[in-house]
Each structure stands twice: as C-alpha cells, then as structure tokens.
Amino acid sequence: MSKETIGPKIKQIRKSRKLTQDQFAESLGYSGKSVISHIEKGDADMTYEKILLLLRTYMIDANELFEVERIDKRLDEYRYNRRKDKKVVVYIHGLHGSYKEASDYIFLSKEYDVVGLDYKDANPWELKETIRNEFKKLTDNYKEIIVIANSIGAFYTYEYLSDFNVKQAFFISPIADMGQIIINMMMDNRIDKKRLKEEKTIKLDNGEALSYDFYEHVNNDKDHWNIPTEILYGSKDDIVYIENIATFLENHPLAKLTIMSGASHYFHTKEEKEFIKKWILRNIR
C-alpha cells in the first residue's frame, strides 16, 4: 500500500462524512487527531486491522482506497505473517473429489487452520508439480503441518510430499499400491504389458490413460515417506486390497492401521464420518 496514495483518500473519506480529525480518530480507536494528520500527510501508514475497521465502519469499498491488486497483496502478506505461530491441517481429496471436502474436518479448527488443496483430476504423473506448488502455498510459514488425505490423495502425499515438514498424516482408504491399480486397469481393458511398453501411453474409453513409464516408476522406485501415519481402511473396500495395505505397513514402520468393519472405499455415511472424527481426535498428536 502506498502512503502517497492512501493519505489523500483517507482525508477525502473523512471530509465527505464531515468528520473532524478527532472524531475520525476516535471512531478508529486512535488516541488523537495527530495520528490521522500524519496518515493524511503520508507520514504514517495504517495497519491491516485499522483498514478493515475503516472499511466496516464507513461501509467503504476497498477500491476507494487503492487498487484491488494492492489490497490483495496486503491481505496475502498479513495472512502469511500470521501463520508463523499457527498450525494447519491440509486436506487432499481423492479422484473426482473437491478441496471443499475440507469442511468435514472443521472440528479441528479451534487449534488448526483447516484448508483443502485444490487440484483438478489428471493423469497422476502430470500432477506432481501442481500438488507440490499448491501444498507449498498452503503450508508456507506454518509451524506445524498435518495432512488428511483420501484415496489417491494419499498416494500424491507419500509420493510427492515426503520432503515437506509434515508432522503427521491421516490416510483414508489410501491407494497404497499404485502399481496394483494400474494392473487392474490393464486387466479390465485387456491391455498387456507388451502392448503398453510398445505404445508408451494408451488412452482408455473412460478418458483415463495408462503410461508405461509411470507403471515402471511405481513398480520399481521406492517412495521416501517417513512420517507418522494413521491409516483408516474399510473392511469392504473393493478398490484397495488389504494385502497392499499390509505391504505398505511393512515398508513404512511409522504407519498404523485402523479397520472399520462394514465400511467400503468411500466413507460417506453419517456413521462413517463420525467414526473418522473420533479416529482423528483419538490419534492426532
């Protein structure tokens, strides 16, 4: 925000309402007119809190003070600086999901900021930079980071975010073995490994795609995930095999498993959401 720009506009707003500097100062919680005088001259700046109070008290559009870009920048800087002593929960949704599902975890908001990572469905090998960049924006400057990830969102977490300073993670119905998912897709579409290797990338009728390079990557490269992780699995999950969960647990000693009897891959009923809430509150560090 430019002092040269806002000072005259503050003066104009005050005079348009026929207020003295003393009256204006009192309405904004300043001790006297000298502060207003310095602001109007451009010798002093207004804090973010005072700007908000000004906008609310006098029903002012922010555009009356400065360009939208400047207020947006000031708001971003303010929010970023406030993060220094705060903690954040980042929710990462699954296929066809939405960052808005983060609202399911608002019960954590007394202690944490709760945000959803926004990304559009795409081929998993194309999303690495998007996931990383969005995660960095959401977590920069927070002193503590918790991740709640659902289905393929869990894969993106342990595959792409292992180098971030995550304190703890909660995986719900995680894709624990992407190689197995690819094999299932190949079998469903009658595609063998030889054909996939020859064609490199095959687009399926449902719009999804198979990549030989990605298939080789997830089957031969180990992830570097070494974060305390709670896993919630439904006993009737027909997408993720319990054998894949068991292998994930073997390869990740800091991971622990909870099984909900009768639940499927998608935890969506009121009872299942209540189970998730109690599970998180019981295990969060």
The series of mean pLDDT values per 10 residues for the chain, 285 residues long, is 66 89 90 88 83 83 61 62 80 95 94 94 94 95 94 97 97 96 94 95 92 93 94 96 96 97 95 97 94
The confidence score (pLDDT) of residue 12 equals 86
**Beta-ladder partners of 234:** 260
Amino acid at 248: F
Angle among Cα 171, 175, 178 to the nearest 5 degrees reads 145
| Residue matched to tokens 């560090």 | 285
The confidence score (pLDDT) of residue 90 equals 98
The confidence score (pLDDT) of residue 284 equals 95
What is the SS3 assignment for 168-223? EEEEECCCCCHHHHHHHHHHHCCCCHHHHHHHCEEECCCCCEEEHHHHHHHHHCCC
Q: Which two tokens stand for residue 236?
A: 């009737």
The confidence score (pLDDT) of residue 57 equals 85
The confidence score (pLDDT) of residue 52 equals 83
Contact 280, 252 (CB under 8 A): no
Q: Which residues does 77 contact at the CB level (< 8 Å), separation at least 6?
A: none
Q: How many CB atoms lie within 10 A of CB 237?
A: 19
| pTM reported for the whole predicted model | 0.71
| Residue matched to tokens 């190689």 | 179
